[in-house]
Structure 1
Amino acid sequence: MHHQDSNYDSLRLDTGFEVPPGAVAKVSIIDSTLRIYGLPPTDLVGPKIPGFDAFPLVPAWSFLVESSTGEKAIFDLAVPPNYNESFSPALLERVLGFGWDIHVEKHVADILRENGEDLESIGSVIWSHSHWDHIGDPTTFPHTTNLVVGPGFSKAVLPGYPINPESLVSEAYFENRTLIEVDFDKTPLRIGQFPALDFFNDGSFYLLSTPGHDTGHISALARTTTNPDTYILMGGDIAHHGAELRPSSDLPIPSNLTGLYPCPSSLEECPGPEDFAKLTASLGRNPAGPALEPAIFVNYTEAVGSIQKAQGLDARDDVWVVWAHDADIAGRVNFYPKRVNDWKAKGWKKQGEWLFLGDLARGAAKFECER
C-alpha cells in the first residue's frame, strides 16, 4: 500500500530539539540472533526500486538500558526461537504465510543470562509495538518484570489467546505481570516534536510517541554522554530502511559519495548523487528526499509524520538513529555485552549513514548511463 505522490519529504521542519538536563544511561544493542533472508523489499517499503529485489539481511536488535541508579529495561524482544510453540495459532499462521526464510537461535533472556545478567534486575520489558518480530516471549522474564506498551494497546490487542482465539498475542505474556500502558497525554514534555515520557525520572531515558506503523508505536531516546550530550534514538519500526529517512532537507546527499556506500561489482561506474536524485524523481517523489516510504502502517499520515519528525533528529551530529531492523550496523558496531555509549567517538553514525545506497545503486545506474 503505497502513496507515491506523497510530498512529505519536501517539507523542512523545525525540530526544536531540546532535552532537559539529565543523567547518562548505559546502553547496549543486543543481537537477538534473528535473521530473515530474501525478504522482498515491497513487503516493508515502497515503491519498488529496480534492481533491489531482496533485503540482503533483516536482523532484529533489542536494547538494554540502565539508568543512573541501576534500574534496567529492555526495549523490544525480537522473535523467540520456539515461535512455533509460543505464538498464538492466529499469529503463527500469519508468520508462516509470509513465506520468509526465518532463523533465530536464542531468546533475548537467554543472551542476557549467558552474559551474567540477573533477570531479576530487569524492571521492565518495553514493546515498541505488538508485531511478531518485537514481542519475543515475556514469559522468559520473571513476573516482577513489568511489560510496558504504547497508548491504545489494550483496546486494540487484548484480550490475548486463548480468551480471544483470533488474538495475535498470548494471554500468558500478561499473567501475574504488571502491564503498563503509556499515556503521553499526561505528560507535557516534548523532545523535538515527539511527546515524551522520562521513563527512569533521571533524564537518561525517554519514551517517545511515534505512531502510525502500529497502534501506539513508541520509540525511545537515551542520553549516551554528557559534555557534550549525545543520544541514541531506538526507532523500533519507525523505519525499515535508510532510504525512508535520507536524504532530507536537513541532511542532503553528499556531493562526493566515494567510499560511502558499497557499489555493486556488476556496475561499470558507481552512481553519483545526481543519479540517485533522478531515481527518486522517477518514482514520483521529491528528488532531494528519501526514495522510499512505509508500506506497513495502521495510519499512513501518522507513519509518515513520525518519519518526518525523526528526519530532523537523524540530521543531527549528536543523535544516532538505530531502528530495530537496521542491517547497516551489522558487523560494524559493538554489541552486547559491550556498550555503545561511545558511538560518536567511534564514528559509527557517519560511517554507516549512506551505506543503504548500495541497495539502490542498480536502480540508479541507468541514470548514470544516460549522463
Structure 2
Amino acid sequence: MASRPDFKVLSSPYQSTVRVRIIDTTSYIENLPAAAFLTPEFPGLSKLSGPSFSFLIEHPSSRSLLFDLGVRRDWENLAPVTTRRIEATKCTVKVQKGVREQLEEHGVEVKSIEGIIWSHWHWDHTGDPNTFEKSTALIVGPGFRKNFTPGYPADKNGRILESDYEGRELKEIAFDQGLKIGRFDAFDYYGDGSFYLLDSPGHAIGHMCGLARVTSSPNSFILMGGDICHHVGQFRPSFKHPLPSMILPNPFDRQSMTACPGELFEHLLPNNDCTKPFYTVARAENGIKIAHDADAADASISKLQDADALDEVLVVISHDTSLLSVLDFFPKYADNFFEKGWAKDSKWLFLKDFVNAVKQQRTSD
C-alpha cells in the first residue's frame, strides 16, 4: 500500500471552517484541441469538452468570496485578442446564465460578496466582474499587474478588459507569509486557517488554487483546482495513489456491483506503470501549446498529487466532467462530501473517457 502523502495542513486554533457551494456555471465548452493541453493523444480523446465550475465560499464573518466565474454570457465582448483566439480554436461555447443571476435566484446577498478570486486570467474563468458591485474586490495571483494591466482598450493588445478591474480594488496576492501547505506556498486569506490560496504556476502567470477547510472534526478540505491541469488523467494515478487492481464504482457503469479490472488501462500508462498518470503537460514540440511554463505546470501537478491521495481532500478541477454525476451543486452545499464519500466514489470515474482506447486494444489482441 502506498504511504500516506506529506500534505500537511495547519490545524486551525479556532477550529475555523468555511462553507462551500460548488456552482455549475452553465458554461460548457466543446471541441477544444486536446493536443494543445496534454499529451499523448488517445483514441476518442482528440478533443476536450467540459463545464467550468465556480465556488461560493462563505465565512462565518459573512465575508463571502467567489472563486472563478466561468464564461461570461456575452463572451463576444471580451478583449478582441481573446475573442480571436477563441474563434481560432473552432470550439463551441455555451452559456445559459451568469453567476450573479444564479446567486440571486437562490437568495444570496450578492452585494455583500467581498471579493472575486480569479484562479487565473483566462476567459473561461473570469466571467464578467462588471455584474458585481465595485465594492467587490478582484483578487489575482502574482505577476498579474505587471503582465495584464492595463487591459483593453488602453492596451489595444490587452488580453483582459480594463473594465474588469476598473473602479474596484485589485488585490494581488503575494505568497510571502512563509506558509506551506504540503509543498505549495500558501496564503491564509482570513488569517484563521479556514481558507488558503495556493501558488500553483505553470498553466498561466499567477495561477492559484483554493483550499477550503469545510469540517474540523475530522478535518476535511475542498481543493479548488482551477486549471492546474485539464484532465484528471494528468494527476491520476500517482505514486501515492496507484491504479487499483479492481475499481469500484465501475467507471463504465457506476451502478454495477461488478468491479472493473485496472489492468484494462495499464497499457495506456507510461511503461505500463500504475503509479504514473496517463498524461503530461503539452510542450511546444507537440504543436500549439497552452501552458505558459510547462515545467512549472508539471511541478504544480506533482504537488496536487499529494493532496489528491487523501480521502479527506476533494479535488475539483474546473472542467472535470466526471464530477457532474457525483456532486451536489449550488444551491446545495458541498461541506459534507467526506461523509457522502464523493472523493472515493469519483476517484476513477474519469477512466470512462478511455473507453475507445480500451476497445481498440481488445480488437488488436
Q: TM-score, normalised by structure 2?
A: 0.91
1:237 offset after TM fit, Å? 0.3
Of 19, 38, 41, the match for 1:48: 41
1:324 offset after TM fit, Å? 0.9
Partner of 1:156: 147
Aligned pairs for 1:32-181 (under 5 A) are 32-55=25-48, 57-85=49-77, 87-181=78-172
Please, which moves more after superposition, 70-79 or 292-301? 292-301
Of 262, 266, 278, the match for 1:277: 266
Distance 1:64 1:363 in 2: 37
Distance 1:173 1:306 in 2: 27
1:151 offset after TM fit, Å? 0.3
Question: Is the CA contact 2:51–2:319 (under 8 Å) kept in the aligned structure 1?
Answer: yes
Question: Is the CA contact 1:263–1:361 (under 8 Å) kept in the aligned structure 2?
Answer: no
Distance 1:191 1:239 in 2: 19
Partner of 2:223: 233
Partner of 1:197: 187
1:37 offset after TM fit, Å? 2.5
- 1:50 partner SS: coil
Partner of 1:5: none
- 2:43 partner SS: coil
Aligned pairs for 1:207-286 (under 5 A) are 207-257=197-247, 259-262=249-252, 272-281=261-270, 286=273
After superposition, what is the alpha-carbon deviation per residue over 1:308-340, rounded to whole angstroms, capped at 9, x for unaligned? 011011000111100111111113211111110
- 2:275 partner SS: coil
Question: Is the CA contact 1:80–1:107 (under 8 Å) kept in the aligned structure 2?
Answer: yes
Structure (1/2) with the larger strand percentage: 2
Distance 1:271 1:41, change over 3 A: farther
- For the aligned residue pairs, the C-alpha RMSD in angstroms reads 2.2
- 1:279 partner SS: coil
Of 10, 26, 47, the match for 1:19: 10
Distance 1:51 1:92, change over 3 A: closer
1:106 offset after TM fit, Å? 1.3
1:16 offset after TM fit, Å? 4.2
After superposition, what is the alpha-carbon deviation per residue over 1:223-262, rounded to whole angstroms, capped at 9, x for unaligned? 0111100000000001211111111111111111254202
After superposition, what is the alpha-carbon deviation per residue over 1:87-119, rounded to whole angstroms, capped at 9, x for unaligned? 011111111111011100111111111211222
Flag structure 1 segments of 5+ consecutive residues without an equivalent.
Answer: 1-11, 265-269
- 1:308 partner SS: helix
Q: Residue 30 in 1 paired to residue 23 in 2?
A: yes
Distance 1:305 1:362, change over 3 A: same
Distance 1:355 1:333, change over 3 A: same
Flag structure 2 segments of 5+ consecutive residues without an equivalent.
Answer: 283-289
Partner of 2:358: 364
Distance 1:247 1:81, change over 3 A: same
Instruction: Kindly provide the amino acid, as one letter, of the partner of residue 39 in structure 2.
Output: G
Question: Is the CA contact 2:242–2:274 (under 8 Å) kept in the aligned structure 1?
Answer: no
1:365 offset after TM fit, Å? 3.7
Question: Is the CA contact 1:279–1:367 (under 8 Å) kept in the aligned structure 2?
Answer: no
Of 291, 296, 310, the match for 1:297: 291
Distance 1:210 1:351 in 2: 26
1:272 offset after TM fit, Å? 3.3
Partner of 1:327: 321
Q: Residue 187 in 1 paired to residue 177 in 2?
A: yes
Distance 1:76 1:322, change over 3 A: same
Instruction: Kindly provide the amino acid, as one letter, of the partner of residue 288 in structure 1.
Output: T
